[in-house]
């Protein structure tokens, strides 16, 4: 028996374990919303304050009204209840999908909030650096145009789906996405970092990059370790000149890249950062027990 969480209550899934939504749901009809993917350990949500911060900013940008009772603490309790119901008390990933609850066509009649959460198990309990480095290259068929919603994890994700299909067809581990100015902004599923001369570089949010939770954690960790960090524009020339390239997201932590075209990279900084990110996650769990 499996459960999902819908607007504050646990609901048993239909046959096959797939949540059912009505055909009139705006998330289905118009992709009118956003989502968060949250890493959980020992029945607790990691970095929830960062997810909640991005979620509240995203709902404001979408002009979706968030109930006063829907606080970070309430979301945490709902996540814990979902994990307990599904007996996922070790490693898990929770997807929280927030859409506009309203009748209407393109123009909604109202701006209420509809929330669906589902949980799935994770094989690895804690972050671990990939042994074999990733091979990446550019997704050449579509670019991202930055706008006020670019920094969020939007339901309208055609570009990322197509880049994932391209990577699979080309035998790549990830495809790299560019904006209209041909600056690198991220990969199919992750933010991107470069290391050159001991300095950390990552695309600025003004380029269209997602305001990733692990991106924020890595930036803060690097600063605490005394590393210089610059948010800037990343070109092909920067990629070819870098000593290291690594990808970050809330589920996998940090993954190092070994190859981009003819260029090969190391993973010294990625290894060091992930050790501290993992230690921080453990400390966060101990603080909640």
The mean pLDDT value for 190-219 works out to 98
pLDDT of residue 21: 77
Which of 19-23, 54-58, 203-207 shows the lowest mean pLDDT across its residues?
A: 19-23
Query: Each residue of 182-200: pLDDT tens digit?
Result: 999 999 999 999 999 999 9
Q: Is the pLDDT at 16 greater than 80, yes or no?
A: no
Query: Each residue of 226-256: pLDDT tens digit?
Result: 999 999 999 999 999 999 999 999 999 999 9
pLDDT of residue 124: 72
Q: Is the pLDDT at 284 greater than 90, yes or no?
A: no
Report the chain's mean pLDDT, rounded to a whole number: 94
pLDDT of residue 289: 61
Pick the CATH number of 3-121 from 3.90.1150.10, 3.90.550.10, 3.30.470.10, 3.40.50.1970: 3.30.470.10
Report residue 134's pLDDT band, with 50, 70 and 90 as the boundaries: very high
Q: Is the pLDDT at 160 greater than 70, yes or no?
A: yes
Q: Is the pLDDT at 18 greater than 70, yes or no?
A: no
DSSP string, the chain: --EEEETTEEEE--TTS-----TT-HHHHH--EEEEEEEEETTEETTHHHHHHHHHHHHHHHTPPPPTT--HHHHHHHHHHHHHHTT--SEEEEEEEEEEE--BSSSBS--EEEEEEEEEE-S-SS----SSPEEEEE--S--B---TTTTS-BS--HHHHHHHHHHHHHT-SEEEEEBTT--EEEESSSEEEEEETTEEEEE-GGGT----HHHHHHHHHHHHTT--EEEE-B-HHHHHH-SEEEEEETTTEEEEEEEETTEE---HHHHHHHHHHHHHHHHHHHHH-
Query: Each residue of 31-46: pLDDT tens digit?
Result: 999 999 999 999 999 9
Q: Is the pLDDT at 1 greater than 60, yes or no?
A: no
CA distances from 215 to 23, 63, 155, 247 (A): 35, 25, 20, 9
pLDDT of residue 132: 96
Query: Each residue of 47-57: pLDDT tens digit?
Result: 999 999 999 99
The mean pLDDT value for 14-19 works out to 65
The mean pLDDT value for 102-108 works out to 90
pLDDT of residue 89: 87
The mean pLDDT value for 261-284 works out to 93
> For the chain, which residues make up each domain, given as ranges?
3-121, 134-285
Pick the CATH number of 134-285 from 3.30.565.10, 3.20.10.10, 3.20.20.110, 1.10.1040.10: 3.20.10.10
pTM attached to this predicted model: 0.95
């Amino acid at each position: 028996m499996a459960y999902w969480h819908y607007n504050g209550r646990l609901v048993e899934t239909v046959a096959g374990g797939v949540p059912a939504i009505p055909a009139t749901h705006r998330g289905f009809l118009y992709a009118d919303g956003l989502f968060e993917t949250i890493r959980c350990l020992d029945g607790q949500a990691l970095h929830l304050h960062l997810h909640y911060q991005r979620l509240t900013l995203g709902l404001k940008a979408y002009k979706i009204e968030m109930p006063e009772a829907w606080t970070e603490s309430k979301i945490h309790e709902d996540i814990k209840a979902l994990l307990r119901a599904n007996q996922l008390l070790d490693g898990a990933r929770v997807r929280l999908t927030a859409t506009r609850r309203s009748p209407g066509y393109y123009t909604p009649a109202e701006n209420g909030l509809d929330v669906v959460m589902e949980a799935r198990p994770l094989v690895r309990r804690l972050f671990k650096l990939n042994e074999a480095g990733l091979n990446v290259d550019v997704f050449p068929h579509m670019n991202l145009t930055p706008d006020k919603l670019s920094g969020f994890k939007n339901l309208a994700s055609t570009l990322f789906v197509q880049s994932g299909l391209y990577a699979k067809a080309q035998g790549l581990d990830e495809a790299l996405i560019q904006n209209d100015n041909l600056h690198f902004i991220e990969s199919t599923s992750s933010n991107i970092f470069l290391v050159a001369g001991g300095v950390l570089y990552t695309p600025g949010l003004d380029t269209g990059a997602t305001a990733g939770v692990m991106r924020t954690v890595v930036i803060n960790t690097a600063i605490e370790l005394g590393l210089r960090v610059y948010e800037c524009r990343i070109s092909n020339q920067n990629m070819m000149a870098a000593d290291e390239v690594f990808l970050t997201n809330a589920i996998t932590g940090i993954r190092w890249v070994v190859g981009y075209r003819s260029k090969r990279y190391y993973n010294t900084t990625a290894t060091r950062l992930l050790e501290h990110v993992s230690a921080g996650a453990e400390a966060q769990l101990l603080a909640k027990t």
